Structures are given as C-alpha cells and as structure tokens.
Amino acid sequence: MSQSNAGRTVGFIGLGVMGEPMCRNLAARSGQAVLAHDLSPEPMQRLAAHGARPCSDAAELVKASDVVMMCLPSGRAVEALLAQLLPQVRAGQVFVDLSTSGVEVARASERLLGGQGARFIDAPIARTRQAAEDGTLSIMVGGDAACLAQVQPLLACMATDITHCGPVGAGQIAKILNNMVLFETGLALAEAHVIAQRAGFDARRIFEVLAKGSGDSFALRSHGMKAILPGEFPLRAFSVEYARKDLSYALAMADELGVPVRGARAVDASFERALEAGEGKKYWPVISRVIDADTGPQSERNAA
C-alpha cells in the first residue's frame, strides 16, 4: 500500500454475489480499516471474521470513510443510494462505483459528488464469481488518472487487470461492450450445443475441439464447459435478469448511435424467452435450455 493510502478507512457497500468476496479480499489484503454494509446482515457477519467491520447504517459508513466503494445491482440503485447519502459526502472523499450502472449514471454521479468536493471513478468489474473469490477480476476504469492512481492499490486487492479506459463513463462503455460480446458468444455456444446434440454428436467433444481451434474463447471455457455442458445454472450467479439489464445498456447505446446490433438483439430475445420460461433468476447460460426447448423433439421436426 502506498504512503498516500496509509491509515485510510475504506467503506464497501453492496455485499452480493460479487461484492462479498471482493470486500473479503480488500479486508484481507489492503492493510486498511474496512467497513462493510449491506441490506442483509448475513454477509456482514461473515465478513467480520475476515477483518471487515459491519456497519448497519450506510450513512455512518460514508461519514467514517475516506474511500467509498459501491457494488450494486443497477444504475438505479446507484442513483438512489447517492441521493440518500449526499448529505454525508465531504470534500476529499473518493467514490468508486464497481457496479455496471451505465454511462449516464456514471457521469451524473461525478457531477453530483463533485458538487460536494468529492471525486468519482467508475470501475465496473468483469470475469466470474470465482475470479472475485480469487482476487483475479478485471476492472475497467473511467475517470481522472490521478484519482485512479490513489485507489489503484485498493483495486489491486481484488483484481489482476486494471485498465484505465478514459474519462468518467469510459469504464462503463468498456464493460457494457465486453458483456455484449460475451452474451453473443454465449448464444452461439448454446446454439452449437443444441445442434451437436440433435445431430447425434457428443457436445463435450465438440466443445473440446472448439477450444483447440479458432472457436476458442473465455466464454467457451468458463460458460460453455462449466455451465452449458453439465446443465448447471445456479441461482447465486450472474442471472438472466442481471444479464439482460447489462445488455439493455448496450442496446440503448446502439439505438442512440444508429447501430443495428442484430446479434445483441438476438441475445435479448433469448433472454426474454428465458424470463417467460421462469428461468430469470438462474445463471444466464440457461438460455441453452430455452433454445433446446424451442427446437422441439426430433420426431416433431421429422414429421414436419
């Protein structure tokens, strides 16, 4: 930890699927006092065993913190929280939004906090829950380079890749496009899985071959092989609901810029079908199950 960060108090708000392990790593590795807040008491209690002090009042957390990190489910949640906490914001504080909250929310947050003399960077995260557990996330940052330099040692407790993408909002753009590409690749893998099975091939072998060729990807190894192949779509993971929320930011950007993004709209349609099928709270690669159901039995297709 650099001298400029010595003795600072870091507040962490939002202890969900990703936030809890991130806060745990921050408390264990930063050498700083870490306060933790969530609407649910259970993750705060678990983190207490790792050195993070539970703080049931978000306003008290902000008052006591030099750096405030947020890992929330949506841009609306970020806006609501900052509006609630604004009276406690003071000059010199740094706010770090680790959520995928959208470009306009990031820019509005900077203006809002700047009016109180605080600084803001958007720093959305990428990679899996296991990466959050291991502290090997990728973080895409938008904001002032000097501000990033101040909090980079803290981010390094949670991530192995920290990329400065540009001014405030640039981190959100990078994350939104990252997820759009991931989801489109996931849709292709789901379709390949169903086609391979219907054609009588071992889908596992097909995926192994893809991993050795130009079809290889992070999505194939992390989502295809670990979720689509075994048919495991747990509830405490990146759900269809959250994935569709992230994709909606990409679709809104595309509409604004006049880009058709046909692949992204195909993913959105698959997400919609998964929601209609009652799969919305499951891990988003569950769209493979929906695609399989939509194709119908082999006998029906032969009869047609």
Report whether 130 contacts 153 (CB < 8 A): no
Q: What is the DSSP string of 99-123?
A: S---HHHHHHHHHHHHTTT-EEEE-
Element (H, E) at 162: strand 159-166
**Per-residue pLDDT tens digits for 232-290:** 999 988 999 999 999 999 999 999 999 999 999 999 999 999 999 999 999 999 999 99
CB-neighbour burial class of residue 292 (10 A; exposed 0-12, middle 13-18, buried 19+): middle
Average pLDDT over residues 170-188: 98
Whole-angstrom CA distances from 281 to 194, 276, 288 are 22, 11, 15
Domain boundaries, the chain: 3-166, 173-303
Q: Which of 76, 263, 246, 255 is nearest to 178 (CA)?
A: 246
Q: Which CATH architecture has domain 173-303?
A: Orthogonal Bundle (1.10)
Structure confidence at residue 298 as a pLDDT band (50, 70, 90): low
Please give the pLDDT value at position 176.
98
Average pLDDT over residues 52-59: 97
**Per-residue pLDDT tens digits for 202-233:** 999 999 999 999 999 999 999 999 999 999 99
Please give the pLDDT value at position 91.
98
Please give the pLDDT value at position 299.
38
Structure confidence at residue 4 as a pLDDT band (50, 70, 90): low
Helix axes of 41-48 and 19-29: crossing angle, nearest 10 degrees: 20
pLDDT at 304 over 70: no
CA 26 vs. chain centroid, Å, equals: 17
Please give the pLDDT value at position 295.
79
Query: Which residue's structure tokens are 């973080």?
Result: 139
- Domain 3-166 fold is Rossmann fold (3.40.50)
The single residue of 175, 226, 281, 282 carrying the catalytic annotation is: 175
Identify whether 212 is a catalytic site residue: no
Structure confidence at residue 2 as a pLDDT band (50, 70, 90): very low
**Per-residue pLDDT tens digits for 112-160:** 999 999 999 999 999 999 999 999 999 999 999 999 999 999 999 999 9
**Per-residue pLDDT tens digits for 63-83:** 999 999 999 999 999 999 999
- Average per-residue pLDDT in the chain? 95
Please give the pLDDT value at position 117.
98
